[in-house]
């Protein structure tokens, strides 16, 4: 058996509930391929502040950096809202992303046929949608300099600079091409090259890099058109590659295609350890009640298998198990419509159903 070490950061609110379910599924899925997952758990976010006076300790950051991957629940809650910014739970997330050097965010947008009704789009438009948004995470206008607000000639002028270097574009584009190899082999690079210099460099760099990936089909699209195409014909996309701000906006637009925030996983990767977490927050309104939907955390564990452990089959098995559980009508409260063919389950029981489906002998992909 190969051994892999995963740093577990359950965090606050519903974080520990969904992470515990996701961990048991991760262990079972990897076990089927002779990979033993050893987990080490650390306080992170508000709970770490309560215990250590800081939202993340250096020991935790070191342990994360030295593990094979990090699985995170969620952080934050009203108890910590009034702390100084460096003590707030969100500060722990920023420090962790910086420590791990995660310059790429991966957000899959997959439509589960059983949940088609939860989306605001018509089923015939949504059916078959399966997109991966690859967003640059540490550059562009959110980090560019200069950044200031100044009085100029009696007026007030604010400036944010959009800056990208060729090497920043290349490294995230490589992640997109690599991801496309594990999917349907298509990358659509999204920019605003009719207006912006950074986008012209983006398009040129991605086009040049594509010669290293002759099996991947590369297309380009302007960001305004992409925003439209996502709601007009989302199934045309496989991998969407884009910069920080465009990716922020497009990934939130695309996430609404799926209907519920409790279903959305994410990964942040760079050249060191990868970080996997559900998109949702700590949901203080339902924390501690065994009501949270664990499927986003479970799907994040599937991404961990695919991108950090190179266990695509284990990832596929987890994703198929989620599909089967939904198709059988099992629902947590956030995706329960009350219809007769649905069964409302707690967090733990949803996890048990996924595990049952995963452990069926015929579920192990070759």
Residues in contact with ligand NAD by the rule CB under 6 A: 14, 18, 74-77, 261-262, 277, 280-286, 292-293, 296, 332, 334
Which two three-digit tokens encode residue 12? 């606050």
User: Residue 349: exposed, middle, or buried by beta-carbon count in 10 A (0-12, 13-18, 19+)?
Assistant: middle
Torsions phi, psi of 363, nearest 5? -80, -10
22 CB-side CA count, 13 A: 36
User: Residue 297 CB, nearest distance to ligand NAD (Å)?
Assistant: 7
User: Residue 34 CB, nearest distance to ligand NAD (Å)?
Assistant: 31
Number of CB atoms found within 10 A of residue 341's CB: 8
Q: What is d(CA 289, CA 346) in angstroms, rounded to the nearest whole number?
A: 9
Decide whether 139 or 262 has the Cβ nearer to ligand NAD.
262
> Quick one: which of 108, 32, 110 has its CA closest to 357?
32
- With beta carbons less than 8 A apart as the criterion, state whether 35 and 1 touch: yes
Decide whether 8 or 14 has the Cβ nearer to ligand NAD.
14
User: Residue 227 CB, nearest distance to ligand NAD (Å)?
Assistant: 22
User: Residue 74 CB, nearest distance to ligand NAD (Å)?
Assistant: 4
Determine if the peptide bond prior to 362 is cis (ω within 30°). no
User: Residue 335 CB, nearest distance to ligand NAD (Å)?
Assistant: 8
Decide whether 218 or 283 has the Cβ nearer to ligand NAD.
283
User: Residue 68 CB, nearest distance to ligand NAD (Å)?
Assistant: 21
248 carries an active-site annotation: yes
Decide whether 197 or 285 has the Cβ nearer to ligand NAD.
285
Rounded-to-10 torsion of CA 86, 76, 304, 100: 0
Decide whether 51 or 81 has the Cβ nearer to ligand NAD.
81
User: Residue 184 CB, nearest distance to ligand NAD (Å)?
Assistant: 28
150 carries an active-site annotation: no
336 carries an active-site annotation: no
- With beta carbons less than 8 A apart as the criterion, state whether 176 and 307 touch: no
What sign has the CA pseudo-torsion 188, 310, 330, 73? negative
Q: Which residues contact 51 (CB under 8 A, 6 or more apart)?
A: 43
Rounded-to-10 torsion of CA 73, 140, 206, 184: 20
Torsions phi, psi of 139, nearest 5? -130, -160
Number of CB atoms found within 10 A of residue 312's CB: 14
User: Out of 81, 224, 271, 310, which one is annotated catalytic?
Assistant: 224
- With beta carbons less than 8 A apart as the criterion, state whether 130 and 111 touch: yes
Decide whether 82 or 151 has the Cβ nearer to ligand NAD.
82
User: Out of 191, 238, 248, 334, which one is annotated catalytic?
Assistant: 248
With left for phi above 0 and alpha for psi between -120 and 50, is residue 150 left, alpha or beta? Answer: beta
Decide whether 83 or 201 has the Cβ nearer to ligand NAD.
83
252 carries an active-site annotation: yes
Q: What letter does residue 262 receive in the DSSP assignment?
A: G
Q: What is d(CA 123, CA 227) in angstroms, rounded to the nearest whole number?
A: 19
142 carries an active-site annotation: yes
Give the active site residues: 142, 192, 224, 248, 252
């Amino acid at each position: 058996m190969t051994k892999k070490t995963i740093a577990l950061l359950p965090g606050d609110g519903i974080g520990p509930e969904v992470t515990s379910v996701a961990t048991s599924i991760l262990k079972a899925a990897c076990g089927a391929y002779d990979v033993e997952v050893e987990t080490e758990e650390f306080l992170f976010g508000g709970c770490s502040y309560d215990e250590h006076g800081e939202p993340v300790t250096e020991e935790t950051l070191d342990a994360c950096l030295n593990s094979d991957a990090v699985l995170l629940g969620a952080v934050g809650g009203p108890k910590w809202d009034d702390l100084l910014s460096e003590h707030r739970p969100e500060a722990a997330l920023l420090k962790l992303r910086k420590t791990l050097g995660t310059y790429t965010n991966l957000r899959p947008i997959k439509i589960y046929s059983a949940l088609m009704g939860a989306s605001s789009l018509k089923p015939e438009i949504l059916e078959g949608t399966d997109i991966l948004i690859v967003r640059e995470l540490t550059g562009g206008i959110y980090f560019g300099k200069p950044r200031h607000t100044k009085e100029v000639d009696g007026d007030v002028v604010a400036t944010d600079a959009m800056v990208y270097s060729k090497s920043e574009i290349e490294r995230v584009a490589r992640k997109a091409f690599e991801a496309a190899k594990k999917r349907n082999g298509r990358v659509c690079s999204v920019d605003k090259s009719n207006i912006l210099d950074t986008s012209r460099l983006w398009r040129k760099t991605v086009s040049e890099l594509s010669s290293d990936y002759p099996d991947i089909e590369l297309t380009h699209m302007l960001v305004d058109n992409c925003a439209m195409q996502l709601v007009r014909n989302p199934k045309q996309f496989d991998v969407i590659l884009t910069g920080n701000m465009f990716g922020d906006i497009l990934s939130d637009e695309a996430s609404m295609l799926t209907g519920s925030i409790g279903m959305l996983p994410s990964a942040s990767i760079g050249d060191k350890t990868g970080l996997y977490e559900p998109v949702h927050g700590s949901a203080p309104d339902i924390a501690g009640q065994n009501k949270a939907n664990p499927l986003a955390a479970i799907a994040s564990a599937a991404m961990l298998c695919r991108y950090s452990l190179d266990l695509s089959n284990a990832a596929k098995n987890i994703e198929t198990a989620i599909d089967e559980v939904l198709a059988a009508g099992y629902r947590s409260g956030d995706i329960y419509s009350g219809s007769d063919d649905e069964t409302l389950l707690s967090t733990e029981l949803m996890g048990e159903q996924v595990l049952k489906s995963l452990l069926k002998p015929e579920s192990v992909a070759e």
